[in-house]
Amino acid sequence: MLYEILTETGFRVSIAHNGIRALEIYSHDLADFLITDLRMPGMDGIELIARIRSIRSDLPILVLTAYNEFIPNEDRFLTVMYKPAADRKIIQSIMKFFPDFTPESCETGDPAS
């Protein structure tokens, strides 16, 4: 469902079902934004965030989790939301990182495409 909402909003979306696959995708398809869960098979969200941060410290990341685990949030490029999160709130959280985003910007290769 989140995939559909993001693509209908105009974002290009890649899906990985675990942290290992997310890093593989990121290595050849650099993202403008990352949405992750904390608990995933193979590599959890905390490790994924740490590895992504070692590559790109300013990549905006949204953590969507159902667990009340400690997540260091001193990072201005990191947002944590707890499930279930309203679709509108998720989109608002993403859009704060892309104030100039419009669906047309996807066609020109601007951020969030």
Across 1-5, 10-14, 107-111, least confident range: 107-111
Q: What pTM did the predictor assign?
A: 0.77
Domains along the chain? 2-108 (3.40.50.2300)
**pLDDT 10s digits, 75-98:** 678 888 888 888 888 888 888 888
Q: How far is CA 41 from CA 4, 19, 66, 90, 95, in A?
A: 24, 8, 15, 23, 29
Phi, psi angles (nearest 5°) of residue 65: -140, 155
**pLDDT 10s digits, 22-63:** 999 999 988 889 999 888 888 888 899 999 999 998 999 998
